Chain A
Amino acid sequence: AQKVTQAQTEISVVEKEDVTLDCVYETRDTTYYLFWYKQPPSGELVFLIRRNSFDEQNEISGRYSWNFQKSTSSFNFTITASQVVDSAVYFCALSERDNAGNMLTFGGGTRLMVKP
């Protein structure tokens, strides 16, 4: 069965600091997909990124970057020069190709608080 673990329940940083959110996953499938979602105080989940298991290239989008390492089953998310608007709960999620429904298994989330 698939599982996603986000060991950091809460992180507090001061604006402009860099911060990394950890995500570790478990799956028996050889083809799978990893996601990060942001849930701001308004509550709506916002899609940030998707990776498939065959693409281990790291990705950068503005101040956001993602590090995917199959060897350690990790898909970590780094925010560079954090801003107050980054304050939210961030979820890592997994779906497996063998699961026809592509339903997402979420981690417990990491609450990020960025203080001015």
Chain B
Amino acid sequence: GAGVSQTPSNKVTEKGKYVELRCDPISGHTALYWYRQSLGQGPEFLIYFQGTGAADDSGLPNDRFFAVRPEGSVSTLKIQRTERGDSAVYLCASSSGLAGVEQFFGPGTRLTVL
């Protein structure tokens, strides 16, 4: 079956612009996660959805970051007024939502802010 997909694979934007990153989870997975991975580091949690609602957004760095999952499937991570420090790989993962199960990751979107 299809895995987690993310689009675009690469996004180059200019400082101050708005960007949207899309994640399509594994069909039937109720839990969806966004992580951010800076060069040479491990992924860091941003936000978690259970169904349509953002159950935990404690990892979002500031109010320029926002994410939605309106129908409980596809999710969009939105970044306003991008800054050079936002440059990173943004990873999406999904799981069945049960405690302790593995998360399946997408290939990521590499965001470069010039």
A79-114 interface with B by 8 A CB criterion: 91, 93, 95, 97, 100-109
Q: A68 → chain B, closest Cβ, in Å?
A: 14
A50 to B101, CA, bound (A): 8
Cα–Cα, bound, A35→B44 (Å): 15
CB atoms of A101 and B105 under 8 A apart: no
Closest-by-CB residue of A relative to B44 is A106
Q: Is B85 positioned at the interface, with any CB of A under 8 Å from its CB?
A: no
Q: Is the CB of B100 within 8 A of A100?
A: no
- By a CB distance below 8 angstroms, the chain A residues around B112 are none
Contact with A along B82-103 (1 / 0, CB 8 A): 0000000101010101011111
- A33 and B33 in contact (CB under 8 A), knowing A101-B56, A107-B42, A108-B42? no
* A78, CB-defined interface residue at 8 Å: no
Known contacts A44-B106, A44-B108; decide if A104 and B101 are in contact (CB<8 Å): no
Contact across chains for A103 and B100 when beta carbons are under 8 A apart: no
Interchain nearest-CB distance for A88 vs B (Å): 14
Q: Which 8 A-B pairs have the closest CB atoms?
A: A106-B42, A33-B100, A45-B105, A101-B48, A101-B56, A103-B45, A47-B102, A44-B107
